[in-house]
Amino acid sequence: MDFPILLTILLAPLVASLIIMFIPKDENILIKSIAAVGMFVALALSLYAYFAYNKDIGGLQFVFGHELPWIKDLGVTFFLAVDGISLPMLLLTNLIGFSAIFASWNVNNRPKEFFVLLLMLIAGVMGTFIAHDLFIFLLFYEVVVIPIYVLVIIWGSSKRVTKEYAGMKLTMYLLIGSGFLLVGVIALFVKTAAIAGHPDMSFTGMAMAAQQLGEFDQIWLFALMLFGFGSLISMWPFHSWSPDGYAGAPTAVSMIHAGVLKKIGGYGLIKIAVYMLPLGASFFAPYMAVLGVIGVAYAAMGAMAQKDLKYVVGYSSVSHMGYVILAVACLNVIGINGAVANMFAHGVMAALFFSMIGFIYEKTHTRWIPDMGGLARQTPRLAVGFMLAAMASLGLPGLVSFIPEFTIFIASFEVYGGVAVIGIAGIIITALYVLRAGANTLFGPPRPEYDHLEDIKGPEMVPLVVLGTVLVVGGCLPSLLFDMINSGVVPLHAAISDALQLGGKF
């Protein structure tokens, strides 16, 4: 058997968190270093996996454990594997996880518990992306929820809403979403097991059997999953947890949540709901498109009205996820490619944004935009990071988010025409609010009360360097990202269009 690279990636943060548990709680630096080392191992390995993945062959690679039965009667195996869609997500998780450790370098309130939970959270998110078994997927998904709750209510911050409210709202939404999802998954499992004649929880096995499901079954199963994944990806109108949740959460959690956790929704939508239930997807596609467009425009307008930096980014991430939903609703090769790529791009960008806002908050003790101004003079590196994220947010070419948005625009404009135009117009509103937030925070006359502020330095630079590099490199060389995603999307799309065999829209 080959070196179990996926398992190692998954275990690296878990082992690190286990080691931290046995370290005295006063060893502040040691705790952080171990967390960093754990994430570094995971990041390095996932980078290796990203470049070692054979894109010409495609399909599932680095397969692990598909012969390891977990729950025999339910056909559950500890099946880990990645394809062109999950590998970028895995890499994203590690990039952001690694940066999040350094973005929380200044956490001195119970650092031990904080990093233990944070590492568990990261491992849980990773698990959802590398699981190729629906049961394992759900299991890791639940693993994610609990640390989030604790992290928010202990280390969060109360502004417009209290951190307890934010944590509760976040967790309840995730749980309700996962509840519906669970019902859908169980129903799907029962039906596919009956069709296949033996229980099988692996993605491919279920998808094979699900092909024989009737249209009606597919539609209501898809509805359940759409609700579950939709509330996770903050699809309008199930988005209201997102701004409050991010505002209440500590920096690292905002980064991970906006950066990758949210993407589990989009990932599941593509790799589970659409892949297994193409007829249901094609039934709901127009509604999804409309909801996506509403999400884009509505959240962008919401962001315009915000004065708290975290709320601005919170609403903006809802808006960007609208594009993902719109893109998935196109159900064609370009659209799904764009959806996955946009999730990656938005993840990097949102994480950078939140880490910079975290530093600003740490230093100035405020996130209220009217209380700031002129920070570019006092903290130039912080300003560079902020503007980089802002520019990526408004889809500046040369940064990673432009090409994904462009592909989404092409796909949606082709399929949905006028409806998509409203979504595309979101780029104007985005430019308005992002630039306004950036300008009022960073530019203008410097305020004397911030003269003593220290610019970010040392470990604090890591998020900027890591994520900024990805932003620029991904923007200049989009084929690095797209060749990978495309190798996963093409077979997926071939499978669903075979199932549909409708022509026309597909």
Partner 1 sequence: MYVEFALQHAWLVPLLPALAFVAIVFLTRPWKMLSAILAVGSMALSCVIATLAAYGIFTNPEYAEKPLVYATRWFSLGMPGMPALQIDVGVQLDPVSAMMMVMVSFISTFIFLYSIGYMDGEDGFSVFFSYLSLFGASMLLLVISSNLLQMFVAWELVGLCSYLLIGFYTHKISAREAAKKAFVTCRVADFGLLLGILSLQIVFGTLNLTELSERIAHFEEFTTFGILTMIAVLVFIGPIGKSGQFPLHVWLPDAMEGPTPVSALIHAATMVVAGVYLVGRTMFLFHEVESAMQLVAVTGAFTALFAATCALTQREIKKILAYSTVSQLGYMMLALGVGSLTASMFHMWTHAFFKALMFLGAGSVLVALHHKADVWEMGGLVKKMPITAWTFVIGGLAIAGIPPFAGFWSKDEILAATFAEGHYVLFAMAAFTAFLTAFYMWRMIFLAFFGKENPDNHPKESPWTMTVPLLVLAIGAIGAGWLGTPWGNVWAEWIYFGHPHHADPNFIVMGLSVVLAVAGIGLAYSMYLKDTEKVKAKAMAEQYSTAYRVLVNKYYIDELYLWFNHALVDGAAKIFYLFDIYIVDGIVNGIGAFAKVSGEGMRVFQTGRLQNYVLIFFIGVLVVAVLMAFVGPSNAVPVIGGVK
Closer by beta carbon to partner 1, 19 or else 424:
424
What three-state secondary structure class fits 63? Answer: strand
- In terms of C-beta density within 10 A (0-12 exposed, 13-18 middle, 19 or more buried), how is residue 74 classed? middle
What three-state secondary structure class fits 26? Answer: coil
Closer by beta carbon to partner 1, 115 or else 298:
298
| 221's tokens | 């199963």
What is the nearest approach in angstroms of partner 1 to the Cβ of residue 308? 12
Distance between CA atoms of residues 138 and 429, nearest Å? 36
Q: Tokens 């809802």, residue? A: 318
What is the nearest approach in angstroms of partner 1 to the Cβ of residue 194? 24
What is the nearest approach in angstroms of partner 1 to the Cβ of residue 98? 22
What is the nearest approach in angstroms of partner 1 to the Cβ of residue 240? 5
The letter for the amino acid at 134 is: L
Closer by beta carbon to partner 1, 445 or else 458:
445
What is the nearest approach in angstroms of partner 1 to the Cβ of residue 447? 11
- In terms of C-beta density within 10 A (0-12 exposed, 13-18 middle, 19 or more buried), how is residue 217 classed? middle
Closer by beta carbon to partner 1, 249 or else 334:
334
What is the nearest approach in angstroms of partner 1 to the Cβ of residue 305? 4
Closer by beta carbon to partner 1, 9 or else 303:
303
What is the nearest approach in angstroms of partner 1 to the Cβ of residue 398? 6
| 26's tokens | 């006063």
| 268's tokens | 């599941």
Q: Determine contact, residues 94/43, Cβ cutoff 8 Å.
A: yes
Closer by beta carbon to partner 1, 107 or else 170:
170
Closest CA to 235 of 347, 326, 167, 301: 326
What is the nearest approach in angstroms of partner 1 to the Cβ of residue 206? 26
What is the nearest approach in angstroms of partner 1 to the Cβ of residue 469? 12
61 pairs with which residues across the strands? 82
Buried b (16+ CB within 10 A) or exposed e, 417-428: eebbeebbebbe
Distance between CA atoms of residues 60 and 237, nearest Å? 35
What is the nearest approach in angstroms of partner 1 to the Cβ of residue 85? 13
What is the nearest approach in angstroms of partner 1 to the Cβ of residue 409? 5
Closer by beta carbon to partner 1, 218 or else 430:
430
Closer by beta carbon to partner 1, 20 or else 258:
258
What is the nearest approach in angstroms of partner 1 to the Cβ of residue 367? 17
Q: Determine contact, residues 234/262, Cβ cutoff 8 Å.
A: yes
What is the nearest approach in angstroms of partner 1 to the Cβ of residue 482? 4
- Residues contributing to the site for partner 1 (CB under 8 A): 169, 172, 237, 239-241, 244, 298, 301-306, 332-334, 337, 374, 376-377, 391, 394, 396-398, 402-403, 406-407, 409-410, 413-414, 421, 424-425, 427-429, 431-432, 435-436, 439, 442-446, 478-479, 482-483, 486, 489-490
Closer by beta carbon to partner 1, 215 or else 451:
451
Closer by beta carbon to partner 1, 355 or else 487:
487
64 pairs with which residues across the strands? 80
Closer by beta carbon to partner 1, 30 or else 304:
304
Distance between CA atoms of residues 283 and 386, nearest Å? 41
Closer by beta carbon to partner 1, 153 or else 403:
403
Closer by beta carbon to partner 1, 120 or else 376:
376
Distance between CA atoms of residues 275 and 218, nearest Å? 11
Q: Give the largest CA-CA distance in the chain.
A: 73
Handedness of CA 102, 248, 354, 308 (dihedral sign): negative
Strands 80-82 and 61-64: antiparallel
Closest CA to 389 of 443, 444, 446, 348: 348
φ, ψ at 80 (rounded to 5°): -110, 135
Q: How far apart are the first and last CA of the chain?
A: 40
Distance between CA atoms of residues 88 and 474, nearest Å? 12
What three-state secondary structure class fits 394? Answer: coil
